[in-house]
Structure 1
């Protein structure tokens, strides 16, 4: 990789921001601050933050906390599905080889789920930042990120997250969560 490519990647990395809900001027400022703080730290929401956000959206904070608690396992399950379908993807010559590329993919899955949880807690499925998505798309193109593999993981992760709501009365929450994931899938499809 030459210096020009390195500089471009650094520039795009600064601009590459998928999450944009905290910029929504219809959210109370206190909620926007919670979302912005959590997103900047790339972390899940605390119990208190979930309760504050869900108070306004009427989403079930305890169900979202349960989802957050098992998120690593759900990501591993989604990863396993992808690797069973396409084991060669992590072999030499595969699009998730070497291991660092695969680890970046799994991290992206975590971040997709994380911001879907943010959207569900805030009661809004329009969770992306249009300008940030353009930078992500350009960055993915330069780095030759296997968007198709990422989408398979994302869709499988959505299925796994939905299972938390199986036999639950929180239909509205499930629709919100699905809406957030569907929004991300549509965003990823536009990158192909």
Structure 2
């Protein structure tokens, strides 16, 4: 990765909860550390954050454990919808390009789970969103396809969570994923100048 891409990637941190002064310093610190390492929350961390938001930590941990399957399902649905994406000439060809897309989906779900744990459905940080848009433009990421994948991710995560979480926690997840989906869709709107930014 060249230096410009490294700088753009560093700026493309969409989580803004560590700047939310209505959250306790302990919670902001947990989120900052987890996001810096791009990792899922531990059971203890989920317990600490959820105890302040009254979100059921055990149910959220159950959802978090299914992150790989949810991303795989979204991937399968996207490729069923548009199998040409990963073929030569497609927007997600060659394979490392597709893998980067699925990895981003995993990270999007990861930070959404942070947001649900904290009880904050609006969780993005405008400078980080701008950084993501700049990075996607630089790399020629197919934003419409990414938005579509996030839509599948949203539907699958909500469907799973609904089967064991409370209506209020499920509603919180739905709102957070909708916020994420709208953010991705707006990247496309903001980066268009009469033409969609596809590869």
TM-score by length of 2: 0.90
2:10 is aligned with 1:14: yes
Q: SS of 1:94's equivalent? A: coil
Structure 1 residue runs of 4 or more that deviate by more than 6 Å after TM superposition: none
Tell me what 1:33 maps to: 29
**Deviation for aligned residue 1:162:** 0.8
Tell me what 1:128 maps to: 124
Alignment gaps of 5+ in structure 2: 189-199
Between Structure 1 and Structure 2, how many residues are aligned? Answer: 188
2:113 is aligned with 1:117: yes
Tell me what 1:106 maps to: 102
Inter-partner Cα distance in structure 1 for 2:63 and 2:97: 26
2:135 is aligned with 1:146: no
Inter-partner Cα distance in structure 2 for 1:112 and 1:20: 13
Alignment gaps of 5+ in structure 1: none
**Deviation for aligned residue 1:142:** 1.3
**Deviation for aligned residue 1:6:** 4.1
2:158 is aligned with 1:162: yes
Q: SS of 1:190's equivalent? A: helix
Q: Is the Cα contact below 8 Å between 2:27 and 2:48 reproduced in 1?
A: yes
TM-score by length of 1: 0.94
